[in-house]
């Protein structure tokens, strides 16, 4: 039976010949041509393939697509239509990306953490981001950007005086 | 000394750039330097409005990027140079990747040479365009040319306060005679408004939204995804295979065998499985039944290699440098030390695994390649397809990291072979395991050092013996003879004065592929020199900073005899400058909390000067780096924040090979396979890093790599300061800390 799930806010039914065992990563990239989610290791070591499943950060390379049936999947493309999510804005303002390949995954891990911890400590960041490798070593700027995004979101929530 | 020793990467890129189809089979770097086509533009410059500056009538400006963006920021820094000379409004600038055309562009990207090498050519190109626009305006107004000047995307006629935008002028301007690039006036650097200012990356937005397209994101109608089963033993081949089970995997379309290609590509060959999606292709590969002929290297191991190095070190090597009589000075010295330093192979491990998409049709070919050498990719595809290079359109994509790995054309060769075999568009995709096990590694090396101090604490002798799996031995036809080429770098002309200075080399033979890894020989040479001088400082009982400054002596310039054509001399005043600045910013003389150590290192590479002070200790049996304070002098920094980003990056890259895992060989194959057994630094281990950039007015020099060679010695010198333990082999092992 064809698999249906919510992808970036819209209902998505896969062609019936897509194997239920196929990892979500390859469904996104090769079947649906949503290439913002990246392949890094295929073994959930590096976090390049991170997406949200019902709001939690997961590694799509080790997630059979059958297991997302009926659930909500958000990819980097679904975070905002115009890179306006506070985390994306903070990433741009701190000039985080270098090669940029890992950054979709970094941003998805960071947004999932901030949804639960709006004002994370450095230790929170160390823990939440421990599954994401950046070979360009942008970690210091990622940390700054996460703090900046948290501050932006807090400022936006403040009632106007 | 033997001058003319080294072929560096820049030279390689230029020769590689023009080798044409000869690259495909049987290509070796020859001693004859081939004509550098990109330099011919100085004789007959192309029209800058075609090549570098596209101006629309609507005043939209697109600057054309001939280099490849792999994270190092050329997509921002190089357009800044053009925009500066053109006096453009930076906020309106867009960038586009150049088509592959070695006759116009010096495409090869590496050797920390993009800004340094493009600085003058791009200033000239931008200035030529500007001068043509000014002439067009003067003619339109019928005024004296000298009364007009370029400003903010247009030309202003001072007396009349008239203003014409470039969009209004470009049609006329592009028809004017092209100024001689050698004599075209350049902007006075005191007037720079863009160059030298912190400038946000132009690609940050696309890289924060998932919109940026890397090689792996290439999508062509009707394409198939291919993964290749390669012999795990270097130099091995397919003896026989059965594809029946692979073909039975759903969505698998074809299975084809490809031959290994030797010098020039160094591919393993193997069996390619093509499918409608990447996952089916990997499953199909897993179902292949292959018998390998493991070839001549099946007995190689890291242990056997080390054994060879130790044996080599017991005998004299080939003399690379010999000043005075180091052996006699050592024999007669009362204060001497000896040490051995060792390094394993190191992988590039770019986050985007190797991939290449190629479509070969009877009348032409098109390819999407994440490459540092698009001209090489073009010649490889031309060779395989038997098409002339001008019929091969190569699109250079963004790269998910390069670090030297993407100079290579092995993955291009594979994609061309598979695409040729099936006649359809094909992406050859490497898995992480393929990438980890079929890299071109930083050479493994073994160094024996001897040093002596005289009664005044000056350096009486410096002797350095190295045995390594040379890069040149792989890439040059006469490699065995010139194996030492590029294996020493600054270690062959250290800034520390010694009348008795000897450098020797013996090749360690290996079947493991080697090539340029971030900072190349400097990653090991920097560690050896800056650790051993620290050992000498300790033996002399002198502060490590003070000792270095004293050993450098009076300010002087030391010729880089290993790279006489292009290498700039080492200016000891600039090296002292960064050492002093890093020390000052780090608070070198202030006490640290108990248990914490401070170490320093300073080094010259890619014509730039870097120094770093590290604060580190041992926690839970592991080295923990808390703080890094860098000072760098890379000439005029085009984008200072881009310089800082590159140094932050090189620090982490250097720490990955210093503190984590090694690539080890057993049974002729790599033992590691993925980030589970080859660990990378992660967020929690990232030290607080400051980078102080000297705002020099010298010509820009390299910065993608020079941050790397100093980090590991500074950290290990800090561990010595904290614990008294001297670390002489990388990566750091727990038993060396106990």
User: In CATH, what class is B302-347+440-737?
Assistant: alpha beta
- Taking the CA atoms of residue B454, residue B455, residue B457 and residue B460 in that order, the dihedral angle to the nearest 10 degrees is -10
- Give the pLDDT confidence score for residue A161 in this predicted structure: 54
Which residues on chain B are in Cβ contact (under 8 Å) with A78? none
Task: Judge whether B397 is closer than 8 Å to chain A, CB to CB.
Answer: no
User: In CATH, what class is A4-78?
Assistant: alpha beta
Hey, are the CB atoms on A35 and B71 less than 8 Å from each other?
no
CA atoms in the 13 A half-sphere facing the CB of B123? 19
Residue A96 has pLDDT above 70, yes or no: yes
Residue of A81, A96, A140, A141 for testing the chain B interface, max B β-carbons within 10 Å? A140
CATH number of B215-295+354-429: 3.30.365.10
Task: Judge whether B202 is closer than 8 Å to chain A, CB to CB.
Answer: no
Query: Could you report the per-residue pLDDT of B125-165, keeping only the tens digit for each?
Result: 999 999 999 999 999 999 999 999 999 999 999 877 899 99
Which chain B residue has its CA at the smallest distance from A21's CA? B279
Query: Could you report the per-residue pLDDT of A34-62, keeping only the tens digit for each?
Result: 999 999 999 999 999 999 999 999 999 99
Task: Judge whether A107 is closer than 8 Å to chain B, CB to CB.
Answer: yes
Give the orientation angle of helix B522-540 with respect to helix B640-659, to 10 degrees.
Answer: 80
Hey, are the CB atoms on B279 and A30 less than 8 Å from each other?
yes
* Closest-CA distance of chain B to residue A10, Å: 18
Which chain B residue has its CA at the smallest distance from A33's CA? B219
Hey, are the CB atoms on A38 and B401 less than 8 Å from each other?
no
Phi, psi of B78 (to 5 degrees): -70, -45
State the burial class of residue B581 (Cβ atoms within 10 Å of its Cβ: 0-12, 13-18, 19+).
buried
CB pairs under 8 A between A and B: 186
Average pLDDT score, chain B? 93
CA–CA gap between residue B686 and residue B648 (Å, rounded):
10
Query: Could you report the per-residue pLDDT of A112-154, keeping only the tens digit for each?
Result: 999 999 999 999 999 999 999 999 999 999 999 999 999 999 9
Hey, are the CB atoms on B683 and A129 less than 8 Å from each other?
yes
Encoded tokens for B62: 């697109």
Encoded tokens for B459: 């350096």
Average pLDDT score, chain A? 96
Separation in Å, CA B695 to CA A85, B375, B578: 35, 34, 12
Query: Could you report the per-residue pLDDT of B198-208, keeping only the tens digit for each?
Result: 999 999 999 99
Question: Which of B95-104, B192-201, B560-569 is the least confident region?
Answer: B560-569
Residue B294 has pLDDT above 90, yes or no: yes
Which chain A residue has its CA at the smallest distance from B427's CA? A30
Of B341, B340, B343, B395, whose CA–CA distance to B366 is shortest?
B395
Sign (positive or negative) of CA dihedral A51, A59, B654, B442: negative
Is B36-207 assigned to CATH 3.30.365.10? yes
- Taking the CA atoms of residue B525, residue B527, residue B528 and residue B534 in that order, the dihedral angle to the nearest 10 degrees is 140
pLDDT band at B333 (very low <50, low <70, confident <90, very high): very high
For tokens 């204060």, name the residue: B335
Q: What distance, in Å, lies between the first and last C-alpha atoms of chain B?
A: 41
For chain B, state the CA radius of gyration.
Answer: 27
Residues 6+ apart with CB under 8 A from B735: none
Task: Judge whether A74 is closer than 8 Å to chain B, CB to CB.
Answer: no
3-state secondary structure of A58: strand
Second-level CATH architecture of A86-156: Orthogonal Bundle (1.10)
- Selected residues 410-429 of chain B with any CB under 8 Å from a CB in chain A: 429
Task: Judge whether A145 is closer than 8 Å to chain B, CB to CB.
Answer: no
CA–CA gap between residue A40 and residue A47 (Å, rounded):
7
Which chain B residue has its CA at the smallest distance from A22's CA? B279
- Give the pLDDT confidence score for residue B264 in this predicted structure: 78
- Give the pLDDT confidence score for residue B562 in this predicted structure: 86
CA–CA gap between residue A132 and residue A134 (Å, rounded):
7
* Closest-CA distance of chain B to residue A88, Å: 6
Domain residues of chain A, as ranges? 4-78, 86-156
Encoded tokens for B456: 């005044």
Query: Could you report the per-residue pLDDT of B458-488, keeping only the tens digit for each?
Result: 999 999 999 999 999 988 877 788 899 889 9
Hey, are the CB atoms on A31 and B675 less than 8 Å from each other?
no
Of B594, B608, B646, B651, whose CA–CA distance to B628 is shortest?
B651
* Closest-CA distance of chain A to residue B554, Å: 37
CA–CA gap between residue B455 and residue B457 (Å, rounded):
5
Which of A22, A96, A135 shows the shortest C-beta gap to B350?
A135
Which residues on chain A are in Cβ contact (under 8 Å) with B707? none
Phi, psi of B270 (to 5 degrees): 135, -155
Where are the CATH 3.30.365.10 domain residues in chain B?
Answer: 36-207, 215-295+354-429, 302-347+440-737
CA–CA gap between residue B579 and residue B587 (Å, rounded):
12
CA–CA gap between residue B48 and residue B28 (Å, rounded):
34
Hey, are the CB atoms on A26 and B675 less than 8 Å from each other?
no
Residue B452 has pLDDT above 80, yes or no: yes
For chain A, state the CA radius of gyration.
Answer: 16
* Closest-CA distance of chain A to residue B219, Å: 8
């Amino acid at each position: 039976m064809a698999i249906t799930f919510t992808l970036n806010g819209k209902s998505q039914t896969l062609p019936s010949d897509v194997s239920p065992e196929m990892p979500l990563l390859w469904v996104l990239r090769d079947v649906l041509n949503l290439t913002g989610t990246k392949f890094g290791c295929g073994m959930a070591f590096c976090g390049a393939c991170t997406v949200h499943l019902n709001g939690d950060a997961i590694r799509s390379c080790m997630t059979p697509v059958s297991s997302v049936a009926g659930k909500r999947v958000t990819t980097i493309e679904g975070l905002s239509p115009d890179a306006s999510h506070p985390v994306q804005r903070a990433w741009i303002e701190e000039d985080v990306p270098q090669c940029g390949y890992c950054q979709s995954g970094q941003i998805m891990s960071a947004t999932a953490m901030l949804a639960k911890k709006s004002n994370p400590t450095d230790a929170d960041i160390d823990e939440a981001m421990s599954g994401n490798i950046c070979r360009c070593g942008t970690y210091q700027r990622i940390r700054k950007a996460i703090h900046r995004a948290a501050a932006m979101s807090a400022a936006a929530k403040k009632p106007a005086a | 000394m033997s001058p003319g020793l080294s072929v560096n990467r820049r030279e390689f890129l230029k020769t590689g750039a023009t080798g044409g189809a000869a690259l495909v089979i049987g290509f070796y770097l020859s001693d004859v330097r081939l004509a550098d086509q990109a330099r011919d533009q100085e004789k007959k410059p192309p029209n800058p409005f075609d090549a570098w500056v596209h101006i629309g009538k609507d005043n939209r400006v697109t600057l054309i990027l001939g280099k490849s963006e792999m994270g190092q920021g050329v997509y921002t820094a190089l357009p800044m140079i053009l925009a500066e000379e053109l006096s453009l409004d930076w906020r309106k600038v867009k960038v586009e990747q150049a088509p592959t055309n070695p006759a116009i562009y010096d495409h090869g990207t590496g050797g920390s040479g993009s800004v340094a090498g493009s600085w003058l050519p791009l200033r000239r190109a931008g200035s030529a365009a500007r001068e043509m626009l000014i002439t067009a305006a003067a003619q339109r107004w019928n005024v004296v040319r000298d009364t007009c000047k370029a400003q903010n995307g247009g030309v202003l006629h001072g007396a009349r306060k008239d203003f014409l935008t470039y969009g209004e002028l470009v049609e006329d301007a592009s028809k004017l005679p092209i100024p001689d690039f050698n004599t075209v006036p350049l902007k006075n650097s005191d007037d720079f408004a863009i160059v030298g200012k912190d400038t946000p990356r132009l690609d940050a937005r696309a890289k924060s939204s998932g919109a940026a397209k890397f090689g792996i994101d290439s999508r062509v109608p009707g394409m198939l995804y291919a993964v290749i089963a390669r012999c795990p033993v270097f130099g091995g081949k397919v003896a026989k295979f059965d594809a029946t089970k692979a073909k039975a995997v759903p969505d698998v379309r074809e299975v084809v065998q490809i031959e290994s290609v030797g010098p020039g590509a160094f591919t393993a060959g193997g069996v390619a499985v093509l499918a409608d999606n990447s996952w089916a292709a990997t499953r199909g590969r897993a179902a292949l039944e292959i018998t390998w002929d493991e070839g001549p290297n099946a007995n190689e191991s890291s242990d056997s290699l080390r054994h060879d190095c130790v044996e080599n070190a017991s005998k004299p090597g080939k003399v690379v440098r010999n000043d005075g009589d180091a052996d006699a000075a050592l024999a007669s010295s009362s204060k001497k030390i000896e040490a051995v330093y060792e390094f394993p192979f190191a992988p590039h491990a770019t986050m985007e695994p190797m991939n290449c998409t190629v479509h070969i049709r009877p009348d032409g070919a098109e390819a999407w390649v994440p490459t540092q050498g698009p001209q090489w990719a073009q010649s490889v595809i031309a060779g395989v397809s038997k098409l002339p290079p001008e019929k091969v359109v190569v699109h250079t994509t963004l790269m998910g990291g390069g670090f030297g790995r993407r100079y290579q054309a092995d993955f291009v060769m594979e994609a061309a072979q598979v695409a040729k075999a099936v006649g359809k568009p094909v992406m050859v995709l490497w898995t992480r395991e393929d990438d980890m096990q079929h890299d071109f590694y930083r050479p493994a090396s073994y160094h024996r050092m001897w040093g002596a101090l005289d009664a005044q604490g000056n350096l009486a002798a410096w002797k350095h013996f190295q045995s390594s799996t040379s890069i040149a031995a792989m890439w040059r036809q006469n490699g065995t003879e010139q194996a030492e080429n590029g294996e020493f770098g600054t270690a062959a002309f250290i800034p520390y004065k010694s009348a008795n200075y000897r450098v020797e080399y013996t090749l360690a033979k290996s079947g493991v592929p080697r090539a340029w890894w971030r900072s190349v020989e400097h990653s090991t040479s920097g560690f050896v020199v800056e650790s051993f001088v620290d050992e000498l400082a300790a033996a002399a009982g002198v502060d490590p900073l003070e000792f270095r400054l004293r050993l450098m002596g009076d300010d002087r310039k030391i010729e880089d005899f290993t790279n006489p054509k292009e290498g700039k001399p080492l200016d000891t005043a600039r090296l002292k400058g960064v050492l002093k600045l890093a020390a000052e910013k780090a608070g070198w003389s202030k006490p640290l909390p108990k248990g914490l150590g401070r170490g320093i290192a300073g080094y010259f590479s890619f014509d730039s000067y870097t120094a770093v002070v590290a604060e580190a200790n041992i926690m839970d049996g592991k080295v923990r780096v808390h703080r890094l304070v860098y000072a760098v002098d890379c000439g005029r920094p085009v984008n200072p924040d881009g310089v800082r980003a590159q140094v932050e990056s090189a620090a982490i890259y250097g720490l990955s090979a210093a503190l984590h895992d090694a690539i080890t060989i057993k049974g002729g194959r790599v033992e590691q396979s993925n980030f589970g057994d080859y660990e990378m630094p992660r967020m929690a281990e990232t030290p607080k890093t400051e980078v102080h950039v000297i705002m020099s007015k010298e010509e820009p020099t390299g910065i993608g790599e020079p941050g790397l060679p100093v980090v590991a010695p500074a950290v290990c010198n800090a561990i010595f300061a904290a614990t008294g333990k001297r670390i002489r082999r990388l990566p750091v092992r727990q038993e060396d800390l106990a």
